Structure 1
Amino acid sequence: MSPRGVAIPDARERLFEAAERVLAREGAAGLTNRAVTEEAGLAKGLLYSHFADLDDFVAQLVLDRFEAIAEEVRALPERAGRGEVRENLTGAALALLGTNGAALAAAALSRGEVARRVREAWEGGAPGPGAVEEAMARYLEAEQRLGRVAADADCPMLALAVTGTVHHLRMHGSVQAADGPESVRRLVAALVAAP
């Protein structure tokens, strides 16, 4: 346990990582202040030193993880002309799926206030699924200009189909975690035909 009054480096990230482990192990119902701080090896009150309440913590966790995903996918258009189109797009979709995607989605949906805060942040410009969809569309359009995606392909709709399906997989956990990557690969292969 951390000593009282001593600054904890990276406390916010330690709490986020601990919350992801708790979610993976116990689901949304197990996500409590005590469970997170014990998992992180930190004092119980530390969470409230960094966040207004548990809803604020969970909302910030979801927003932080989506920002990291958006940052990872943001460079996708720069990959146009390099590597295989399907593999590049699959990599971006798998980043969106994430390792704890379904658990994070369940945590957000199980708490109405969290869902509201996340939605408002996205409407206010915080990076979310829309940023990933936009990067995918720009990437596909760049590949289309290079002749690596069919000339008649509707790139924004392809990007929407990929992000929408991955969003469905995240929100509903409709495939086993081990099957998620294969489902995403099959989806991209079905949608993105070679020119």
Structure 2
Amino acid sequence: MSPRGVAIPDPRERLFAAAERVLSREGPAALTSRAITTEAGCAKGMLHTHFDGLDAFVAELALDRLARTAREAARLPGRAGRATVADNLVTVALTLLNSLEPAVVGLAMTRPGAALRIRRALEAGAPGFTATQDAIGEYLDAERRLGRLPDGTDTATVALALVGTLHHLLMTNWAGAPHPREPAERLIALLIGTDSDGAAGARATPPG
């Protein structure tokens, strides 16, 4: 029993964090309901109290981490005119890259029940990569209106290229692989064009 005045951690987040540790340390084959609850230090029935089985748990874990990235991306338009365009995009890129263990995505894809739940949730409007892409596009539009991107910048295509590449980097960010920050930064510089100070320049308009 927790002492009076001490907040009890959200049981869902406690289980999510435990699952990520198991996946990172032992791989997808080790992820069982018992392994998750043991890692979380809670009763063995807690997972099934909050989730309708392991497929539902894996789907909710993936959706929760995608929603975290979408929430960060939603703040981007409010940053227009502040810092540099490149710095703001790198911030949201790193949030996406750090929000999901690659093993979580891989596990969700190999469990048909989890994959179906994720697809249905996204189709129903759950925030995911599309929400992140839309927020980045809105942010780039705001920067273009402020004159920090050239008028001809195809913001929708820049957002699509960035999110698509980040998804690829996320899926190939296995243990021991170099951190994907450097290629993400190079991609952002290429897409928007930056000078030595990180300010957007003439290269921001994709070639026709």
**TM-score over 0.5 for the alignment?**
yes
What residue in structure 1 maps to residue 44 of structure 2? 44
> RMSD across aligned C-alpha pairs, in angstroms?
1.8
After the TM superposition, which residues 105-144 of structure 1 pair with which residues of structure 2 at under 5 Å, given as runs? 105-144=105-144
String of CA shifts for 1:25-73, please: whole Å, max 9, x gaps.
1222221111111100112111111111000001111111111111111
Structure 1 residue 97: deviation in Å? 1.3
**Equivalent position of 2:5 in the other structure:** none
User: Measured at CA, do residues 45 and 129 of structure 1 come closer, stay the same or move farther in structure 2, by a change above 3 Å?
Assistant: same
CA deviation map 1:54-96 (0-9, x unaligned): 0000111111111111111101011111001011011111111
After superposition, the C-alpha distances for 1:135-159 in whole angstroms (9 at most, x for unaligned) are 0000111111111112211000000
CA distance in 2, matches of 1:97, 1:126: 19
1:147 pairs with 2:161: no
Moved more, 133-142 or 107-116: 107-116
SS at match of 1:98: helix
Distance 1:72 1:84 in 2: 17
Report the TM-score, using the length of structure 1 for normalisation: 0.91
**1:76 to 1:167, Cα distance in 2 relative to 1, 3 A:** same
Instruction: Work out the CA distance in 2 between the residues paired with 1:127 and 1:188.
Output: 23
Contact 1:169-1:175 at 8 Å conserved across structures: no
Q: Distance in 1 between matches of 2:85 and 2:175?
A: 24
Alignment: residue pair count: 189
Which amino acid letter does the alignment assign opposite residue 29 of structure 1?
Answer: A
1:13–1:183 distance in 2 versus 1, CA, 3 Å: same
Note if contact 2:81-2:146 (Cα within 8 Å) is conserved in structure 1: yes
Amino acid at match of 1:78: G
Confirm whether residue 33 of structure 1 aligns to residue 8 of structure 2: no
Residue 59 of structure 1 pairs with residue 63 of structure 2: no
* Distance (whole Å) between structure 2 residues aligned to residue 151 and residue 30 of structure 1: 52
Q: Which residue identity lines up with residue 30 of structure 2 in the other structure? A: G
State the match for 2:77 in structure 1. Answer: 77
Which AA in structure 2 matches 1:109? M
- 1:19 has 2:55 as partner: no
Contact kept? 1:144, 1:150, Cα under 8 Å: yes
Question: Is the CA contact (8 Å cut-off) linking 2:102 and 2:174 kept in structure 1?
Answer: no
Identical aligned residues as a percent: 50
Residues in 1 aligned to 2:147 and 2:125: alpha-carbon distance in whole angstroms: 33
Measure how far apart 1:176 and its partner are. Answer: 5.3
